[in-house]
Amino acid sequence: MKIAILGYGTIGTGVYEIIQQYTASDLQDLEVVKVLDLPQNKDKLDIITSDINDIVLDPQIDCVVEVMGGIHPAYEFISAALTNKKHVVTANKAVVAAHIEEFTALANKNGVRFLFEASTGGGIPWIASLKKAKRIDDIHHFYGIFNGTGNYILDAMTRQGKDFDVVLKKAQELGYAEADPSADIDGYDVQNKVVISSAVAFNALVDMKEFLCYGIRNITKADIEYFKNLGFTIKYIGEATMNQNHYEAFVMPNLFDQSAVEANINSNFNIATLNGQSIGPLKFYGQGAGKLPTANAIVQDVIDIECPHTAYNLDFSNQLTYKAVQKNAFVIRTNTKVEDVNINKVEEVASNYYLHTKEIDADALRELVDKCNDKGVFVAKVAKFEG
Amino acid sequence: MKIAILGYGTIGTGVYEIIQQYTASDLQDLEVVKVLDLPQNKDKLDIITSDINDIVLDPQIDCVVEVMGGIHPAYEFISAALTNKKHVVTANKAVVAAHIEEFTALANKNGVRFLFEASTGGGIPWIASLKKAKRIDDIHHFYGIFNGTGNYILDAMTRQGKDFDVVLKKAQELGYAEADPSADIDGYDVQNKVVISSAVAFNALVDMKEFLCYGIRNITKADIEYFKNLGFTIKYIGEATMNQNHYEAFVMPNLFDQSAVEANINSNFNIATLNGQSIGPLKFYGQGAGKLPTANAIVQDVIDIECPHTAYNLDFSNQLTYKAVQKNAFVIRTNTKVEDVNINKVEEVASNYYLHTKEIDADALRELVDKCNDKGVFVAKVAKFEG
């Protein structure tokens, strides 16, 4: 199979290295024939072009690997590749989450595959495992730690007792967090991954504007300490549930018992859990980001293109609407002493109030948080996952 | 694909149910056409036969699922099926571990697949994930909790403070442990799984008579308590390492920090970890046994038969010999106060001695344990796994 890579940054270099330098037999009929990068980088590699038409119009190319990131021009380039009957493999969660249904339709129309394992969970075989589980079971629920940067920050705060700002700065120095960390700490990154995972798990498009999303930007050392004293470890969770014609999703910090598997996922690792009626719970753990793990996931997709049972394109046959159904207990830390029928218990710690809610649905939680009217509010859910 | 099931016990019933009753599209071209069971069970199902020749000589049958357990007549029936050009899928770890090279050669000769996902890790997609990782990376090391019964016993002793005998009896009542629990608590079950996993990971046959195997039969409530006070949780681990032309394997209790992922695997769940040069560590967690999880793994193999990239037959191209290389610290609990240059520290607790060794190899450990000359000896390794 002849491959073109769009983008020769960290991940693109990793894909090139694995395909061209690794010796495993499944890699032997793969070849990188062109790489798209900026004109000034042409001397890095003799197959670099800066003209996308050199790739999408080249009849020898079977598969285009997109690792540029961002929506534009990734959207236009993926569309052009699919239209020209090239399989597309991408790691770009933003463009996948925004256009997954359109790309799938275009791939189906042109008889090629659209694959995106590396967009969610990095090196973890999460998307392929969801697809594999669905060969037998229905999947009605999944959850996981999908953001390595967020986990790195919470883990360092928890185990080293450091402040949020100090840990975020360290994450930026290590290359785990970007200069603008908003996607990681305000939940957009995990929202994208919940949309992508839901598409695979539920055959449906879910709308990230509908579901609850609270980030970790406002968490303090005092919050970590408060919850630790209650026996909880805080982890940043994305999850979704399908219930007949409805879905529900949450992106928010969760409070886990210290002996839960998720509570013991350290550093920047990810873990994701699916649950099927015959298989029960399955968990998948690994590197959620990084050059070689992400490149590995991309190359796995390329190899899978020949397997109809794992590399199929999605269908979006289920029309699901958002509905707040599940009841959960939440804890809200705020500077206002809010009184409400849904609050069970209030604890004051150093001029802050920890409001422990009854088991309430997402709509009731939103109302409570609005009532706090506190820009620095921190909201967490008491985890109650099975398995 | 037309399928025959050998054995209509718990797992066989599960396979039949999934194939005949589940509605997922990948199952629609699968059909169970014959089931082998005892003559007295013929009224259970109208496709039951008690003559193996009705199956292996039937030209319409494409795939034989063997779920009888034990070496005989499973060995003869698998051999006959492969010889008659039927794909074989089995959950039978004992017969796979004993004859994996022979079955593979026979399958290759007859142009069919020999698959055994369900033999190791039950419902966890462990064998397929090892194969998938090897499409890109070399795998030099794996480890895991491969015995659900053992984990159930250790977990109940640790979290409920119960005695070994009480917990074993409960495990037998729940159907987790057999009337003769030796395979589970003396390590033979895990030895088989290490042989099978090594064949997949290393392309090599390892000899379970060579490597260290210590069980959990002798563990006491006092041992659990002693190690808990040192910050350790005990888990029953199988592992193997390939190092150039050598391999090394261990089946024995390991002492994990209480915050390790493995330390927090509860009940009868399994978890297994591989490590590849680009993917890093990947962990897979799920039900290591049980009717539907095991049946699910079998049916996954059946579906995979059409995928050349995941369902290939093994090769045994690496000739590895056993060599004790790794240095580990061990703790031996015995009734004898042994003195030895390899012992760092001795602690006496209620007439027992906990001997803490230096970092020593497996040969030196064997010598030390022999020197104790204590039938009730308990031996554990201090875990030092990465990732």
User: How many Å apart are CA B183 and CA A179, to the nearest integer?
Assistant: 55
* Residue A132, CA distances (Å) to A19, B14, B144, B365 in order: 25, 18, 22, 43
Q: Do A172 and A67 lie in a common domain?
A: no
Considering only CB atoms, A18 lies closest to which of B14, B278, B286, namely B278
* Residue B65, CA distances (Å) to B52, B84, B210, B214, B262 in order: 12, 14, 31, 32, 32
The pLDDT assigned to A386 comes to 77
Which residue among the candidates B86, B93, B193, B381 is catalytic per the annotation?
A: B193
Tokens 């002693």 found at: B226
Contacts of A132 in chain B (CB under 8 A): 125, 300
Best B278, B285, B294, B303 member to test A by mutation, with max A CBs in 10 Å, is B278
Q: Which long-range contacts (CB under 8 A, 24 or more apart) does A44-50 make?
A: A44/A8, A45/A8, A45/A16, A48/A8
- Closest approach of B142 to chain A, Cα-based (Å): 14
Considering only CB atoms, A282 lies closest to which of B280, B285, B306, namely B285
Q: Do A193 and A80 lie in a common domain?
A: no
Average pLDDT of the segment spanning A82-93 = 98
Considering only CB atoms, B278 lies closest to which of A277, A280, A292, namely A292
For residues A219 and A167, the answer to whether their CB atoms sit within 8 Å is: no
Please report which confidence band the pLDDT of residue A93 belongs to, taking 50, 70 and 90 as the band edges.
Answer: very high
Q: Do A83 and A196 lie in a common domain?
A: no
User: How many Å apart are CA A50 and CA A36, to the nearest integer?
Assistant: 5
Does A268 reside within a domain? Answer: yes
Tokens 């008659």 found at: B84
Q: List the single residue in B with minimal CA-CA distance to A283.
A: B285
Token pair of A321, please?
Answer: 């609407």
Prior bond to B73 cis, omega within 30? Answer: yes
Best B23, B135, B271 member to test A by mutation, with max A CBs in 10 Å, is B135
How far does CA B358 lie from the centroid of its chain?
29
A28 pLDDT more than 90: yes
* Residue A5, CA distances (Å) to A89, A214, A295, A299 in order: 9, 35, 11, 11
Q: List the single residue in A with minimal CA-CA distance to B307.
A: A307
Instruction: Fill in the amino acid letter for B209.
Output: K
The answer to whether the CB atoms of B296 and A137 lie below 8 A apart is yes
Q: Do B102 and B203 lie in a common domain?
A: no
Q: Please, is A112 exposed, middle or buried when counting C-beta atoms within 10 Å of its C-beta (0-12, 13-18, 19+)?
A: buried
The answer to whether the CB atoms of B279 and A261 lie below 8 A apart is no
Average pLDDT of the segment spanning B42-60 = 96
Q: A271-314: per-residue pLDDT in tens?
A: 999 999 999 999 999 999 999 999 999 999 999 999 888 899 99
Q: A123-148: per-residue pLDDT in tens?
A: 999 999 999 999 999 999 999 999 99
Does B125 reside within a domain? Answer: no
Q: List the single residue in A with minimal CA-CA distance to B25.
A: A135
Q: Do A59 and A148 lie in a common domain?
A: no
Average pLDDT of the segment spanning A169-186 = 91
The pLDDT assigned to A18 comes to 98
For residues B88 and B78, the answer to whether their CB atoms sit within 8 Å is: yes
The answer to whether the CB atoms of A22 and B136 lie below 8 A apart is yes
The answer to whether the CB atoms of A300 and B22 lie below 8 A apart is no
Please report which confidence band the pLDDT of residue A316 belongs to, taking 50, 70 and 90 as the band edges.
Answer: very high
- Closest approach of A191 to chain B, Cα-based (Å): 24
DSSP-derived letter for residue B364 is H
Angle, helices A291-304/A126-134, rounded to nearest 10 degrees: 40
Residue B330 domain boundaries: 139-288+319-382
The answer to whether the CB atoms of A26 and B284 lie below 8 A apart is no
Q: List the single residue in A with minimal CA-CA distance to B275.
A: A286
Token pair of B236, please?
Answer: 């029953």
- Here the CATH number for the domain that contains residue B20 is 3.40.50.720
- Phi and psi at B46, nearest 5°, equal -75, -10
Token pair of A196, please?
Answer: 């992508």
Last residue of a domain, one of A85, A115, A145: A115
Q: Do A238 and A271 lie in a common domain?
A: yes
For residues A282 and B293, the answer to whether their CB atoms sit within 8 Å is: no
Does B304 reside within a domain? Answer: no
Residue A208: CB atoms within 10 A of its CB come to 18
Q: Do B76 and B161 lie in a common domain?
A: no
User: How many Å apart are CA B155 and CA A269, to the nearest integer?
Assistant: 25
Prior bond to A73 cis, omega within 30? Answer: yes
Best A159, A202, A279 member to test B by mutation, with max B CBs in 10 Å, is A279
The answer to whether the CB atoms of A296 and B276 lie below 8 A apart is yes
The answer to whether the CB atoms of B27 and A280 lie below 8 A apart is no
Token pair of A106, please?
Answer: 């275009």
A213 pLDDT more than 70: yes
Q: Which long-range contacts (CB under 8 A, 24 or more apart) does A359-365 make?
A: A359/A327, A359/A328, A359/A329, A360/A327, A360/A328, A360/A329, A360/A330, A361/A324, A361/A325, A361/A326, A361/A327, A361/A328, A362/A211, A362/A212, A362/A248, A362/A250, A362/A324, A362/A326, A363/A324, A365/A212, A365/A328, A365/A330
Active site residue B193: yes
H or E element that contains B114 = strand B114-115
The answer to whether the CB atoms of A296 and B138 lie below 8 A apart is no
In B213-317, which ranges are continuous DSSP H helix?
221-229, 291-304
Start-to-end Cα distance in chain B: 40
Contacts of B14 in chain A (CB under 8 A): 278
User: How many Å apart are CA A290 and CA A10, to the nearest integer?
Assistant: 8
Q: Do A106 and A229 lie in a common domain?
A: no
Contacts of A296 in chain B (CB under 8 A): 136-137, 276, 278-279
The answer to whether the CB atoms of B264 and A261 lie below 8 A apart is yes
B107 pLDDT more than 90: yes
The sign of the dihedral angle between the CA atoms of B334, B338, B340, B344 is positive
Does A125 reside within a domain? Answer: no
Considering only CB atoms, B286 lies closest to which of A271, A280, A309, namely A280
B386 pLDDT more than 80: no
* Residues of A known to be catalytic: 193
The answer to whether the CB atoms of A136 and B18 lie below 8 A apart is yes
* Residue A244, CA distances (Å) to A254, A320, A321, B4, B202 in order: 25, 8, 10, 35, 45
Contacts of B261 in chain A (CB under 8 A): 261, 264-265, 285
B387 pLDDT more than 90: no
Does A307 reside within a domain? Answer: no
User: How many Å apart are CA B296 and CA B68, to the nearest integer?
Assistant: 16
- Here the CATH number for the domain that contains residue B178 is 3.30.360.10
How far does CA A108 lie from the centroid of its chain?
24
Please report which confidence band the pLDDT of residue A387 belongs to, taking 50, 70 and 90 as the band edges.
Answer: low
Contacts of B290 in chain A (CB under 8 A): 280
CA torsion B47-B50-B56-B62 (nearest 10°) is 30
User: How many Å apart are CA A234 and CA A382, to the nearest integer?
Assistant: 9
H or E element that contains A168 = helix A164-173
The answer to whether the CB atoms of A306 and B308 lie below 8 A apart is yes
- Closest approach of A373 to chain B, Cα-based (Å): 37
* Residue B267, CA distances (Å) to A265, B67, B171, B173, B218 in order: 19, 24, 10, 15, 20
Q: Do B82 and B171 lie in a common domain?
A: no
Q: How many domains does chain A have?
A: 2
Residue B374: CB atoms within 10 A of its CB come to 18
User: How many Å apart are CA A287 and CA A66, to the nearest integer?
Assistant: 20
Contacts of A280 in chain B (CB under 8 A): 123, 286-287, 290, 292-293
The answer to whether the CB atoms of A263 and B264 lie below 8 A apart is yes
Chains A–B, number of C-beta pairs less than 8 Å apart: 153
Q: Do B100 and B159 lie in a common domain?
A: no
Residue B5's nearest CA partner among B36, B30, B40, B27 is B36
> Up-side HSE of residue A344: CA atoms within 13 Å toward CB?
10
The sign of the dihedral angle between the CA atoms of B146, B149, B154, B155 is positive
The answer to whether the CB atoms of B281 and A279 lie below 8 A apart is no
Instruction: Fill in the amino acid letter for B333.
Output: R
Residue A312: CB atoms within 10 A of its CB come to 17
Mean pLDDT score across all residues of chain B: 96
Tokens 């700490």 found at: A185
Q: Do A99 and A148 lie in a common domain?
A: no
Contacts of B306 in chain A (CB under 8 A): 307-309
Q: Do A104 and A145 lie in a common domain?
A: no
Mean pLDDT score across all residues of chain A: 96
The answer to whether the CB atoms of B293 and A279 lie below 8 A apart is yes
Q: A231-243: per-residue pLDDT in tens?
A: 999 999 999 999 9
Q: B58-88: per-residue pLDDT in tens?
A: 999 999 999 999 999 999 999 999 999 999 9
User: How many Å apart are CA A386 and CA A283, to the nearest integer?
Assistant: 12
Considering only CB atoms, A135 lies closest to which of B282, B286, B300, namely B300
Decide the pairing of beta strands A48-49 and A31-36.
Answer: parallel
For residues B113 and B107, the answer to whether their CB atoms sit within 8 Å is: yes
Q: B229-269: per-residue pLDDT in tens?
A: 999 999 999 999 999 999 999 999 999 999 999 999 999 99
Does A60 reside within a domain? Answer: yes
Q: List the single residue in A with minimal CA-CA distance to B279.
A: A293
User: How many Å apart are CA A7 and CA A89, to the nearest integer?
Assistant: 13
Does B301 reside within a domain? Answer: no
Last residue of a domain, one of B115, B147, B173: B115
Token pair of A114, please?
Answer: 């659209």
For residues A180 and A188, the answer to whether their CB atoms sit within 8 Å is: no
* Cα-based angle A60, A64, A67 (whole degrees, multiple of 5): 150
Contacts of B281 in chain A (CB under 8 A): 285-287
The sign of the dihedral angle between the CA atoms of B347, B351, B352, B357 is positive
Q: Please, is A210 exposed, middle or buried when counting C-beta atoms within 10 Å of its C-beta (0-12, 13-18, 19+)?
A: middle
The pLDDT assigned to B169 comes to 96
Contacts of B265 in chain A (CB under 8 A): 261
Does A124 reside within a domain? Answer: no
For residues B134 and B310, the answer to whether their CB atoms sit within 8 Å is: no
Residue A134's nearest CA partner among A186, A70, A200, A193 is A200
The answer to whether the CB atoms of B26 and A309 lie below 8 A apart is yes
Contacts of B263 in chain A (CB under 8 A): 264
The pLDDT assigned to A178 comes to 85
